[in-house]
Amino acid sequence: SGLITIDPGFKNTGSTTSAITYLDGENGILKYRGYKIEDLAEKSSFLEVAYLLIYGELPTQKEYEKFTREITTHTLVHEDIKKILDGFPSNSHPMGVLSSLICSLTAFYPESLDPTRNEDAVNLSIIRLLAKMPTFAAWAFKNKVGHPVNYPDNSLDYCSNFLKMMFALPAERYDVDPVVSKALDQLLILHADHEQNCSTSTVRIVGSSQASIYASISAGINALWGPLHGGANQAVIEMLEAIKADGGDTKKFLDKAKDKNDPFRLMGFGHRVYKNFDPRAKIIKKAADDVLAKLGVNDPVLDIAKELEEAALSDQYFVDRNLYPNVDFYSGIIYRALGIPTDMFTVMFAIGRLPGWIAQWKEMRENGEPIGRPRQIYTGATDREYVSMNKRG
Does 263 engage in binding with ligand CMC (CB under 6 A)? no
Reply yes or no on whether 303 is catalytic. Answer: no
- Given the residues 157, 271, 278, 343, the one annotated as active site: 271
- Residue closest to 258 by CA, chosen among 306, 312, 314: 312
Does 282 engage in binding with ligand CMC (CB under 6 A)? no
Does 228 engage in binding with ligand CMC (CB under 6 A)? yes
SS3 304: helix
Does 270 engage in binding with ligand CMC (CB under 6 A)? yes
Candidate list 127, 213, 266, 359; residue touching ligand CMC; CB under 6 A = 266
Q: Phi, psi (5° rounding) for residue 45? A: -130, 165
Residue 107 to residue 87: CA distance in whole angstroms = 16
Single-letter residue type at 116: T
Residue 332 to residue 337: CA distance in whole angstroms = 9
Q: Phi, psi (5° rounding) for residue 31? A: -135, 140
Residue 325 is given by DSSP the state B
Q: How many CB atoms lie within 10 A of CB 221?
A: 29
Closest CB to ligand CMC among residues 134, 270: 270
Candidate list 206, 217, 257, 305; residue touching ligand CMC; CB under 6 A = 257
SS3 31: strand
**Binding residues among 42-61 for ligand CMC as defined by CB under 6 A:** none
Closest CB to ligand CMC among residues 78, 265: 265
Does 147 engage in binding with ligand CMC (CB under 6 A)? no
Candidate list 104, 186, 208, 326; residue touching ligand CMC; CB under 6 A = 326
Does 351 engage in binding with ligand CMC (CB under 6 A)? no
Total residues in contact with ligand CMC, by rule CB under 6 A:
20
Does 244 engage in binding with ligand CMC (CB under 6 A)? no
User: To the nearest whole angstrom, how small is the minimum distance from the Cβ of residue 224 to ligand CMC?
Assistant: 7
CA dihedral 66, 70, 73, 79 (to 10 degrees): 180
Residue 60 to residue 48: CA distance in whole angstroms = 10
Order of strands across the sheet that contains 29-32? 21-24, 29-32, 35-36
Closest CB to ligand CMC among residues 33, 271: 271
Give the CA radius of gyration of the chain. 22
Q: Which sign, positive or negative, has the C-alpha torsion 293, 295, 299, 304?
A: negative
- Judged by CB under 6 A, which stretch of 75-83, 180-188, 293-301, 321-329 contacts ligand CMC? 321-329
User: To the nearest whole angstrom, how small is the minimum distance from the Cβ of residue 229 to ligand CMC?
Assistant: 4
Does 117 engage in binding with ligand CMC (CB under 6 A)? no
Closest CB to ligand CMC among residues 128, 194: 194
- Given the residues 157, 278, 328, 343, the one annotated as active site: 328
Return all residues near 345 (Cβ < 8 A) that are at least 6 apart. Answer: 233, 234, 237, 331, 332, 335
Closest CB to ligand CMC among residues 24, 86: 24
Q: Which sign, positive or negative, has the C-alpha torsion 289, 295, 296, 300?
A: negative
Q: What's the N-to-C CA distance of the chain in angstroms? A: 39
CA dihedral 15, 17, 20, 21 (to 10 degrees): 60
- Judged by CB under 6 A, which stretch of 46-54, 56-64, 123-131, 268-276 contacts ligand CMC? 268-276
Is the Cβ–Cβ distance between 302 and 248 less than 8 Å?
no
Reply yes or no on whether 343 is catalytic. Answer: no
Candidate list 48, 157, 309, 328; residue touching ligand CMC; CB under 6 A = 328
- Residue closest to 37 by CA, chosen among 23, 25, 47: 23
Does 230 engage in binding with ligand CMC (CB under 6 A)? yes
Site string for ligand CMC, 195-224 (x = CB under 6 A): --x---------------------------
User: To the nearest whole angstrom, how small is the minimum distance from the Cβ of residue 89 to ligand CMC?
Assistant: 27
Which of the residues are catalytic?
271, 328
Residue ranges binding ligand CMC (CB under 6 A): 9, 197, 228-230, 232, 257, 265-272, 321, 323, 326-328
